Chains A and B, each alone.
Chain A
Amino acid sequence: MSVVALPQEVSTVAGAPMSYWRTVAWRLARDRATLVAGAILLLIAVSALLAPWIAPHDPNAGSIRLRLAPIGGATHPLGTDEQGRDMLSRLLWGGRMTLVAGLTPVVVAFLVGTVLGVIAGYAGGLTNTLVMRTMDVFYAFPAVLLAIAISGALGPGLPNTLISLSIVFIPRVVRVAESATVQVKGLEFVAAARASGAGVWPILRHHLLANILGPVLVFASTQVSLSIILAAGLSFLGLGVTPPAAEWGLMLNTLRQSIYVNAIVPALPGLAIFVTSMAFNLVSDGLRDAMEIRS
């Protein structure tokens, strides 16, 4: 949902053909909420990427004497944590970790899920039943529960977080990719391509993938926000990234004992998760609206 309403009709300039992606870009350029969210996202991503160079302090070096310094200080603008480590530096470094932990599973799920979904959708029959019924089983668990269950069994650590979150998101992508494939497969242009003598691969590449990748990508983008919340949540429970690494969820966990001493600093990592997750939500909503074909 975008806060700013989109124009209902997108006029294509008469005579000048407008490609699909140009139309999408044209729509996005007029969606202020999405643009602002996109800019915030870019800022977060760039600062996380540049953390080693722009972080003012060593994220893991602290001093007990400087514990829980309030925000607004000269040397520690965002204060210090319960071990006296610089919050700004830790937030920057933590962003790297949280983004990696949140984005990787969605990327993996997008790749694996699309392949599985297209195979199931295009092959149909027994293959479809087998793949889709297996995916249904994972729907027996709410996302949070599934992530925690698998992580709980596998034990803490970033690789295990990535595995368990990928397992959470793969079935979702498979469902979307499968239903898109079945829908496109039934359209006449696929039959037309077959009638032209095209084999399975050219049809998959030029006709199926070209038409389903967009919707599946948009769907995957809507899952990033949840993935980030879950990745940080696993760390928050002690099931994700292990200390002393800086990660937003983990920081929130270790800092929450200190809310009676300093109420503002412990809230910062959560605020970072929230802003990132919301920015992803707004951007994916805007993208979905912009990519909707009205013909």
Chain B
Amino acid sequence: MWRYVGRRLVLAIPTLLGASIIVFAMVHLAPGDPIAAVMPVDASKEQVEAVKKAYGFDQPLPVQYLKWLGRVVTGDLGKSIATRRAVILDVRDALANSLVLAASSSLMAFVAGIALGLLAAFRQGRALDKIASGIAVIGVSVPHYWAGIILIIIFSVQLNWLPAMGAASDGGVVDYARHMALPTIALALIPLGVIARVVRSAALDVLAQEFVLALRAKGLAHRRVFTHVVKNAAPQTITVLGLQFGFQLGGSVLVEAVFSWPGTGYLLNLAIFQRDIPVLQGVILVLATFFVLLNLLVDVLQTFIDPRIARH
């Protein structure tokens, strides 16, 4: 099993390197000269050349890449063109906000998804099952940015219960939570549907086992059946949750844009419209690294929960 873990770790390195190449290449994908964005319009040719040299843009691409990679590995993501701040600082602050949001929405999806999945399984084929399954389909089909707008319309515009935009500046925990509520719900919709599906099918598998049928036939030990179902559905659910957490982190761009939540997605959005390539690269690289490591963690956890997976 440790060999499998080691192998997965080693395999993550080329993936991360590949991701870094893609991120690096984005500068060159961008239309126009990357220097043009930094320079004043009336800059002379000599000035442009000087800046090119300063940024290392005069060197061959592989050399540029390796130098860039060398800096990135030490945590130097360059400076923002717009704010002149070190990118790593902006990304760090944004990431903290995104992590909070991803965590709260994952927690919500976890609790609600399990409840919904179990309800559906124990009431298989009946109205409640159909409603739960319907909610699950809606969860994976709904454009969450639209769901966010609907939430704002209902809870902010019509009912005026919760704030529509931004994060609390200094209002303390309660205020922070109030600002977080709507984006959390909007972001929780997709994993909620996925988790509910997984839990439902895992629970149905357990319920179909003979001894469980026997237990239920005797009409006793409802609690025992329930514990058994939960125990057996747990590994799959944890896996899905781990993967979904990663999607939350990377996928929150649209929701953060709707709610102006100052996370990585918002920062990315800002960087795109200011054509702030260093920030764009920094955000994506950090998120991709997070995502790869998270997938790795899920894989490793899975092997410990179910050692059969490490068969290769």
Contact = CB atoms under 8 A, between A and B. Distances in A.
B254 A141 contact: no
A141 B19 contact: yes
Interface stretch (B87-95, B148-156, B175-183): B148-156
Interface string A222-234: 0001000100110
A281 interface: yes
A263 B158 contact: yes
Interface in A260-285: 260, 263, 266-267, 270-271, 273-274, 277-278, 280-282
A24 interface: no
Contact of A141 (B157, B257, B272, B288): B288
B137 A5 contact: no
A148 B130 CA distance: 35
Contacts of B137: 1, 3, 278, 281-282
B149 A267 contact: yes
A175 to B, nearest CB: 14
B145 interface: yes
B143 A133 contact: no
A255 to B, nearest CB: 9
A266 B149 contact: yes
A144 B144 CA distance: 12
A155 B275 CA distance: 9
B192 interface: no
A142 B18 contact: no
Nearest to B164: A259
B291 A155 contact: no
Contact of B133 (A1, A148, A154, A277): A1
Contacts of A236: 145, 254, 257
A137 interface: yes
B101 interface: no
Interface string A123-146: 000000000011011111111110
Contact of B143 (A139, A145, A270): A270
A236 B247 CA distance: 19
B14 to A, nearest CB: 6
26 contacts: A1-B197, A5-B125, A137-B15, A137-B18, A138-B22, A139-B295, A140-B15, A140-B16, A142-B247, A142-B249, A144-B247, A145-B288, A149-B23, A150-B26, A153-B277, A155-B31, A225-B140, A236-B257, A259-B152, A260-B157, A263-B153, A267-B149, A270-B149, A273-B143, A278-B137, A281-B137
Interface of B: 14-16, 18-19, 21-23, 26-27, 29-31, 125, 130, 133-134, 136-138, 140-143, 145-146, 149-150, 152-153, 157-158, 197, 246-247, 249-251, 253-254, 257-258, 268-269, 271-273, 277, 280, 284, 287-288, 291-292, 295
